Amino acid sequence: MSTFKKSKPKSAITSSRKPDGPPPERLRPPVFSDADPATYPDETRKRDADGLFNFYIPIDEEDQTYMTWMYKLGDALGMGTFDPRDNRLPPTYYYELTELPKGYKLFRQVKQPDPDGPKHTGLDLKIEVIRKDAEYELDARGDPYLYGHPIGTKYRSTLEFIPHLLWLENDPYHNYENCACCLCPRLVEAGIRLPSDLKGSHIHSLRRKRKNPDEPKSKATGSSRKSSGGPSAKSSGGPSGGQSAKSSGGPLRGQSAK
């Protein structure tokens, strides 16, 4: 049976710092965390509609993907700000997060063909493959996702998670109305404004439990995601982006660069 093979690291991110440069400043993650391990994905191998085995595996700390996340999150935390336009650029390597906030965990969603089943190419399935040429037969693919948010939905990139990371670090009130990420507005809409509200709430009914990991998301959920990391809480009275937390009694550090 074939096994999932990690892709080779890209040359742009093979070293933690330029040979002639100083090592990055290592930053501890925020002390406060709202993560819930109960939201982690099922690691059971399941067959999807295309005949591929679809499953999740944890990404270990030695993985190049994990290291890249640590550098990019470190940049945002170290500089106290984030410009979404920088997401396409490699990390500066000036800062490195030592670990993810407690309870948050990176997983790789793997799609792997059945060795005894029909052969597929990337063009057949219209998905990205590890090999550069999409005409090659599909070997396996793996996309990284960050799990742990109380709503039960994954962060798909550092771009999506950075606003929440800055909120964890900077908001002493831990008010979800003040978070500009793409997931927290759903908590606010459900009347959950503080992590303490999660206890005894109907949070479990808000978590979508899809039988098929590839099941399309509803339009309502998809429309709430923006390239900047997520919409602001409109009716909740909370600030958008990184604006001052008026109702909370103090400004938040980590405003978005304009």
The model carries a pTM of 0.66
Res. 181: pLDDT tops 90: yes
- pLDDT reading at 82 higher than 80: no
* pLDDT on residue 140: 54
pLDDT in the model for residue 239:
44
Domain boundaries, the chain: 21-173
pLDDT, one tens digit per residue, over 199-227 is 755 676 666 543 344 444 444 444 343 44
pLDDT value, residue 121? 55
Residue 35 clears pLDDT 50, i.e. is over it: yes
In this structure, what are the phi and psi dihedrals at residue 146, rounded to the nearest 5 degrees? Answer: -105, 125
Percent helix, strand, coil in the chain (nearest 5)?
A: 25, 15, 60
- Record the tokens describing residue 96, joined without a space: 């490195």
Distances from the Cα of 138 to the Cα of 92, 130, 135, 146, angstroms? 33, 8, 8, 25
**Which of 36-40, 171-175, 231-235 is predicted with the least confidence, judged by mean pLDDT?**
231-235
Amino acid code (one letter) for 92: T
Strand partners, 107: 58, 145
Helix axis angle, 158-170 relative to 64-79, nearest 10°? 50
Provide the pLDDT confidence category of residue 120 given band limits of 50, 70 and 90: low
* H or E element at residue 219: helix 219-222
Window from 76-90, 110-124, 127-141, 202-216 with minimum mean pLDDT: 127-141
Averaged over 16-28, what is the pLDDT?
Answer: 75
Sheet holding 46-47, edge to edge: 46-47, 52-58, 105-113, 141-147
pLDDT at 115: 65
Task: Give the distance from CA 85 to its chain's centroid.
Answer: 17
